[in-house]
Amino acid sequence: MRYVRFDVDRAGDVLAPSIARSSGSSVLDGEALSTVRRASPVPPPPDAIAGRAIEVVVPVTFVISR
């Protein structure tokens, strides 16, 4: 399983996605990053969370079937 790290700003924009933990497959790691980029914008952080942006780390799993 790979993990993607990125920041979410107050508008819900995804900033600077990167691989936090690789699966060992550069193709799937690249697609995980692309998936996160395509999801932008995401719901913005709630007002109760302080700061200009928050850091998020999420697992990304692909299921490959024939």
- Band (64; pLDDT cuts 50, 70, 90): confident
**pTM for the whole thing?**
0.88
The tokens for 4 are 């993607």
Q: Are 9 and 17 in contact (CB under 8 A)?
A: no
Burial of 47 from C-beta contacts in 10 A (0-12 / 13-18 / 19+): exposed
16-20-26-29 Cα dihedral, nearest 10 degrees: -70
Which residues is 63 bridged to in the sheet?
none
* Residue 23 pLDDT: 87
* Residue 9 pLDDT: 97
pLDDT 10s digits, 38-61: 999 999 999 999 999 999 999 999
